[in-house]
Amino acid sequence: MNCRTMSVAGSFYPAKANEINEMIDHYNTILQSHPDVLESFDALHGEAVIVPHAGWVYSGFTANIAFRILAKSKPKTIVVIGPSHRVGFEGVSIADNQDYQTPLGDLGINANLVKDLKHRFSLPYFPQAHQEHSTEVQMPFIKHYLPDAQIIELVYAYAEPSLLEPIITYALTLSDTAVVISTDLSHYYTLDEAQQRDSICLDAIEHEDTDTLNKGCEACGMTGVKAMLHVAKQKGLESTLLDYRTSADASGDTSRVVGYVSALFH
C-alpha cells in the first residue's frame, strides 16, 4: 500500500495550495456576482455529478459548481470514475493505495470499500492506468470542499457501461457516499459545430436518455455518462444541468474548441 502521487499538478491545475485556493475563490466570486444563479445552485443537493476534466483554466469553473453543491450533502466517501487517456486495458481498474496526494494535503482512500468493490465486482488494479488526469483533476476540489472525505478512484479503458452500472448503483446504496463521473464533450471543432454536437449531449443528460447520446454526442467519458444516466433513471434521480461552456470562453479561440458540462443527480 502506498500513496497515489500527483501526475498532472502544475499543468492541469496548480501545484501550490495557495494557488488552488485562489482559483476556487475566484470561481466562487464569479458566482457571487450573479446572486440569482447562486441562489438557484444553493437550493440544490445531490449524490452524484458529472464534471469535466480539462485544465482548470478551461473547465475548472464548470467543475467547481458541481463540487460546491455536492459538498453540501457532506459525503464521507466519493467514488471518482474517469476514462483512461494513456493506457489501454480491458475493463475497470481500482486504485489500491492508502492515500491520494494533492497539493492541499493527502486524501484518504477508503480501504474497506476498495476491498469490498474488488471482491464484489472482480476489479483489478493496474497501477500504470492511474496516472490519469480525468480523475486526478477532481481531487483538489474534493480536498478543498471535503477535507476529511475518503475517495475511491476507478479508471476504465475498454469497458461497456454495463460494467460500471452495478458499481454506481451499489455505491449510491451506501450511506454517505457520492459518485463523480468525469468526461469532456466534443473536441476540436469550430465553436458553432461544438455547440451543436454538445447540445445533443446536454439534452441526453437533462432527460436521462441514452438513446439521444447516440445521435451525435461526442464525449471521451461516454461509457461513464451512459452508465450514470441508466442508473439515474432506474433509481428515479432527477438530472439538473449546472453549467456548459467551451474552451473558447477562456482562450478566445473559436476555431478548435473543447466542450465542458457539469450536471447534478438528486
- HEC string of the chain equals CCEECCCCECCCECCCHHHHHHHHHHHHHHHHCCHHHHHHHHCCCCCEEEECCCCHHHHHHHHHHHHHHHHHHCCCEEEEEEECCCCCCECEEECCCCEECCCCCCEEECHHHHHHHHHHHCCCCCHHHHCCHHHHCCHHHHHHHCCCCEEEEEEECECCHHHHHHHHHHHHHCCCEEEEEECCCCEEECHHHHHHHHHHHHHHHHHCCHHHHCCCCCCCCHHHHHHHHHHHHHHCCCEEEEEEEECHHHHCCCCCEEEEEEEEEC
Q: Are strands 92-94 and 239-246 parallel, antiparallel or unpaired?
A: unpaired
Regarding pTM above 0.85, the answer is yes
- Reported as a single tens digit per residue, the pLDDT across 100-154 is 999 999 999 999 999 999 999 999 999 999 999 999 999 999 999 999 999 999 9
**Backbone region of residue 105 per phi and psi (left: phi > 0; alpha: psi in -120 to 50; beta: other values):** left
* Residue type at 256 in one-letter notation: R
- Reported as a single tens digit per residue, the pLDDT across 217-257 is 999 999 999 999 999 999 999 999 999 999 999 999 999 99
- Reported as a single tens digit per residue, the pLDDT across 94-111 is 999 999 999 999 999 999
CATH number at residue 119: 3.40.830.10
- Reported as a single tens digit per residue, the pLDDT across 25-80 is 999 999 999 999 999 998 999 999 999 999 999 999 999 999 999 999 999 999 99
- What pLDDT score was predicted for residue 126? 96
Range(s) of the domain holding residue 19: 3-265
- Please give the grid coordinates belonging to residue 97: 493505495
For the chain, give the mean pLDDT. 96
Answer for the pair 243, 185: CB distance below 8 angstroms, yes or no: no
Q: Band the pLDDT of 1: cuts 50, 70, 90.
A: low
pLDDT > 70? residue 200: yes
Please state the rounded mean pLDDT for residues 15-24: 98
Other CB atoms within 10 A of residue 198 CB: 26
- Please give the grid coordinates belonging to residue 257: 474548441
Nearest residue to 54 (alpha-carbon basis) of 194, 227, 264, 262: 262
Q: What is the tally of structural domains in the chain?
A: 1
Q: Are strands 187-189 and 257-265 parallel, antiparallel or unpaired?
A: antiparallel
